[in-house]
Chains A and B, each alone.
Chain A
Amino acid sequence: MSLTFRGGIHLPENKNTDQCTITRPREPAYIRVPMSQHIGLACIPVVKPGEVVSKGQLIGENNNGLSACIHAGIAGKVLRIESAINQNGRRDDYIVIENDYSGAVSPDIKPCEKKISELSSDEIIDTVRRAGIVGMGGATFPTHAKIKSAIGKAQKLIINCAECEPYLTANHRLIAENAKDIIYGAKILLKACGVTTGYIAIEDNKPDAIADLKKLLKGDSLLSVKVLKTKYPQGDERQLIYAFEHKELPAGKLPSDLGYVVFNAETCFAVYRAFSTGMPVTERVVTVDGDCIVNPGNVIVPIGTPFSDIINFCGGFSKRPDRIISGGPMMGIAQWDENAPVTKGTAGILALSKDMYHREIPNCIHCGRCVGVCPMHLMPCYFAAYSKINDYESCDAFGVKSCVECGCCTYVCPGNIPIIQYIRIAKSKLTQKK
């Protein structure tokens, strides 16, 4: 029996690229690296225009507060440091590096000599911090901070391989091609958190990866595979823990309060790389798909690579896209600039054409579908209705703050009501009031 939760939706999966081996395009001519690629404080550039940097060299850091270091993904010259609006609508510094194609690697990059058993928790945390590792499923929470918060509280560790968003297969491919390394990374994390039980949670639509992992973990005392039902948003930490334990994470609490700590598969891979080669997070796997892409696939690219480069590598557009999305179709962010850079949280680039819209109806018909699918067990139709008439207090009374913006309600609404927009408005008005 596969594990699951209440609510959520079965989406048309569109995992068209799940058999596409990860390929490495030629390095881009330049990269634009934003200084805010994680939850927490933005990094401050530590290089100057004109300076020559090598691959893996530290270029951004913020030692005051929650942050994750940023490194150069290519070798070359820093052209300029510019300020621009990032995809979250906030102003951000970008370091622009021109590729000299020398491929020079920073001398700081050295593999870790010790065995896992010889490492201390603090050493691991420090390496992870210096490598700039964040939650690479899209949440981008700095991993070193997560380890710290889990120590002493968490007894179980979950490697989240649910990848429940349609289209995205980056994680799936990474597991299929590097299962051993991911397991290695997971073991380092187990050690760091002081935890002796770990699960690899994976959805039942990836039978090849499941078989692989099961074979590798046969007789393993630390890690085992748990199969989840394919459903959106199964990858949400809350729903994941519910599927395991049938316990609901109370609002405002962290998974470690229930004894769990959750990491993403690509995060484990990044940990593995930081220890086996010393290379920090300088690149990531991105799924490129959507009905406008000529050759959909999975690519591994330096952080900061412009979307347009990657799309060209994938054969360009077969027809004019209506939207280019960074991430999956359910929670991803529509881009206004096709030269937007890949960041640590970019799991996918989708180019979608128009066809999927229908007309919005004037009023909610009260069908209750949004209520049935909400994984947080809320009543989204009332959020929309009250937000529409500016009654944000009532939205609050109906629990709008618990909404995780998964988009299930808006996806199913037959009236095509932009419920999630009303929710965002209500949430921001409520925070302003405070």
Chain B
Amino acid sequence: MNSDLLRISSSPHIKHEDSTRVIMTDVLIALVPAAIWSVYAFGYRSVTILLVSVIFSVLFELLYQLIMKKPLTVTDFSATVTGVLLAFCLPVTIPLWMVIIGDFFAVVIVKQLFGGIGRNIVNPAICARIFLFVSFPGAMSSFVKPESSLSAFALTLKPSDIDAVASATPLAMLKQGQFPSESLLDLLFGKNAGCIGEVSVLMLLVGAIYLLVRRVITWHIPVSYILTVAIITYFFPRNSITIEFMLNELLTGGLVLGAFFMATDYVTSPATPNGRLIYGAGCGVLTVFIRYFGGYPEGVSFAILIMNLFVWYLDRYTKPVRFGGDPK
């Protein structure tokens, strides 16, 4: 054998098989149960929205990279994940063209203009949701009851279609100091009005357990996030029956989706265990604060967006102490 053919690579000479693509695939797998539930709850229109969102996210990433002559990264599936996550936090009644605007905002403005994967400062899906919310408040907050039959393919829905089945979300009820009409069990399963992927807490938890088992995410952020919300809402309820109020707060408003799937986004969350605990707690405090005092009932997106901006500091100030101690 000719020695010239040997590769001189640096150690280590073996690699764990997890690549970015494997991780993103795992996230997609974890989102499947909630996606299936959304079809059950809201009909085929939610499939349409999911597909449109994914296709356009990927397309925008591809086009941007082709036009800017950058290496193509669509095969790492991160744009696909953004597409699904954005669709998950949209109401099923949203006009399809708005979904496309959201995808453009998420992928091109928030992600690519900052330098592509790993460089964005804030979470693309969350940012796009907020962008849509601010631009189209009406469309973004018209919710329907589950099992309402909507056209799967209509570009936009007629107001009459929506009005027939319109419903307030549990979170909006809580905002007014009332208990939602759904039972806690209904909220757990996802038989309430809400965004496509947010409603079924149970299905999201199934996916979350998968992510934890596969070690795609660690427990730190979701646990500290949800625990913080639980503690504050228990001790400072907007209503009087504390435990029930607390559980209502936990099961609604996309808290579970946010805590397990959005706040844990690698790029925009700290890399250290302690940083993650503080980050989660910060998200929790802000979520409750915004829900109680903000103009919108929704607090999760804003809370995560704000905490995104602190990640740089959190990483630095929670730097682990070196083995053997830091030299003076």
Contacts and interface: CB of A to CB of B under 8 A. Distances in A.
Interface in A353-395: 356-359, 361-368, 371-372, 375-379, 381-382
Contact of B15 (A238, A323, A358, A405): A358
Contact of A379 (B6, B7, B117, B319): B319
Contacts of A252: 327
Contacts of A325: 11, 13
Contacts of B78: 365
Interface residues of B, number: 50
A322 interface: yes
A423 to B, nearest CB: 10
Given A324-B6, A367-B23, A415-B20, A251 B14 contact: no
Interface stretch (A37-45, A148-156, A333-341): A333-341
Given A320-B1, A412-B16, A416-B19, A238 B7 contact: no
30 contacts: A7-B323, A248-B324, A249-B323, A251-B325, A320-B1, A322-B7, A323-B7, A323-B9, A334-B7, A334-B8, A334-B9, A334-B10, A335-B6, A336-B6, A356-B15, A359-B19, A361-B76, A363-B118, A365-B118, A371-B272, A376-B322, A377-B320, A378-B322, A381-B271, A399-B326, A405-B11, A410-B12, A411-B14, A414-B20, A420-B12
Most chain-B CB neighbours within 10 Å: which of A248, A330, A363, A367?
Answer: A367
Interface in B72-101: 73, 76, 78
Contact of B10 (A11, A350, A424): A424
A248 B327 CA distance: 13
B14 A336 contact: no
A352 interface: yes
Interface of A: 7, 9, 11-12, 166, 238, 242, 248-253, 317, 320-325, 329-339, 350, 352, 356-359, 361-368, 371-372, 375-379, 381-382, 398-399, 402, 405, 407, 410-412, 414-416, 418, 420-421, 424
> Which 5 residue pairs across A and B have the least CB separation, nearest first?
A363-B118, A368-B271, A407-B12, A367-B266, A377-B320
A366 B120 CA distance: 11
B15 A365 contact: no
Contacts, number: 172
Contacts of A407: 11-12
B6 A371 contact: no
Nearest to A238: B323
